[in-house]
Amino acid sequence: MTDQTKIEWTDFTVNFWEGCQKVGPGCDNCYAEARDVRFTGGSHWGPGAPRRLVKSGLAKLHKINRDAESFRHEHGHWPRVFCSSLSDIFDNAVPEHGYRTPAFAEIEASRSCRIQLLTKRIGNVEHLVPYDWAHGRNYGWPRHVGLMITVVTQAEADRDIPKLLDLKSRFGIPWVGLSMEPLLEHVCIAPYLHDSDCTEANGECYCRDTGGPYEATVDWVICGGESGANARPMHPEWPSSIAYQCKDAGVPFFFKQWGEYLHEAIYNPFAGPKPSIEVDGHRYMKVGKVKAGRYLHPWGEISETPVEAA
């Protein structure tokens, strides 16, 4: 079996090319860009930079799909495959011929996998997705392919989630999700999880069922802090609010990590003194990603069940 990934919410990652361009605040400390700088001098990042074709990407996905039955027998579910961890499948700077066209063909053919497409460019999806997927010809949007977007601020949520839900309704996408990592502020997503009217007070969401405007809703939410040398801290109220919004709506929620920092309110003082920073009147202790862990204290009972597409 092909080597699995360390990313907690998927089983495998597949990259058909490497390289991208920053498009939002969540990109500021991109690990993929840092990796590209380390190995190629950063030659595949930024405006006008050529993307590096990963020739083994198609073969890797083909092998995962070929071995999917064995994987399911061992793990109890079909293999979840994240495309792509070092690029954006809907990057409009990528050539169609030799890059996106064969990638989508292999994705469509890998029907024993559960493909997780993640993009920061939801506005490009309708124009770059295969024509048959969007217009219902042949099989329409493949039932084994879900679509996620990155949302790390309220402005991104209000700008991009309605676009995601519109595509879900029009194209018949089987499930859609949010990757809220690195979460940079308190974000209210409740109106997009179920039909509701939402107001805020003191940083908390108060929502009630009203039969709201969205026919489709978000099906899965991933949340986490930032890691790396220049990581920004995440206040514990931010992910806990997302967790409870999901719990109230019955939407699966996955907490990935705290990142480099822990807020002083949940830091164990018996661990000894650690370097700290102060942000907006709150003190955070730098303990590192591994020691910070991924227990959403004291909200550990929140569901972490990933979506299993039909």
Query: Which of 127, 148, 169 is the C-terminal boundary of a domain?
Result: 148
Domain range enclosing 89: 1-148
Cα torsion through 105, 111, 114, 120, rounded to 10 = 20
Helices 101-109 & 57-66, crossing angle to 10 degrees?
Answer: 10
The gap between the terminal CA atoms of the chain, to the nearest Å, is 23
Closest CA to 105 of 72, 84, 129: 129
Q: How far apart are CA 285 and CA 274, in angstroms?
A: 6
Query: Which of 102, 128, 148 is the C-terminal boundary of a domain?
Result: 148
| Per-residue confidence in pLDDT tens, the chain, 310 aa | 567 888 999 999 999 999 999 899 999 888 888 888 888 887 898 888 999 999 999 999 999 999 999 999 999 999 999 999 999 999 999 999 999 999 999 999 999 999 999 999 999 999 999 999 998 776 799 999 999 999 999 999 999 999 999 999 999 999 999 999 999 999 999 999 975 555 554 445 555 444 445 678 999 999 999 998 899 999 999 999 999 999 888 899 999 999 999 999 888 777 778 899 999 999 999 999 999 998 886 655 555 556 664 4
Decide: helix, strand or coil at residue 58: helix
Q: Radius of gyration of the chain from Cα atoms? A: 20
User: Is residue 67 located within the same domain as residue 135?
Assistant: yes
User: Is residue 74 located within the same domain as residue 10?
Assistant: yes
Q: Which residues lie across from 162 on neighbouring strands?
A: none
Q: How far apart are CA 110 and CA 115, in angstroms?
A: 8
Structure tokens at 10: 């998927």
User: Is residue 112 located within the same domain as residue 206?
Assistant: no
User: Is residue 171 located within the same domain as residue 276?
Assistant: yes
User: Is residue 136 located within the same domain as residue 23?
Assistant: yes
User: Is residue 124 located within the same domain as residue 155?
Assistant: no
Domain tally, the chain: 2
Query: Which of 120, 148, 176 is the C-terminal boundary of a domain?
Result: 148
Q: How far apart are CA 86 and CA 18, in angstroms?
A: 5
User: Is residue 121 located within the same domain as residue 209?
Assistant: no
User: Is residue 170 located within the same domain as residue 134?
Assistant: no
User: Is residue 103 located within the same domain as residue 65?
Assistant: yes
Residue 6 DSSP label = S
pLDDT for 31: 83
Q: Distances from the Cα of 23 to the Cαs of 26, 30, 46, 58, 234, in angstroms?
A: 8, 11, 10, 26, 21
Is residue 143 within 8 Å of residue 198, measured between CB atoms? no
User: Is residue 31 located within the same domain as residue 65?
Assistant: yes
Alpha helices in 31-84 (DSSP H): 31-40, 57-66, 68-75
User: Is residue 115 located within the same domain as residue 209?
Assistant: no
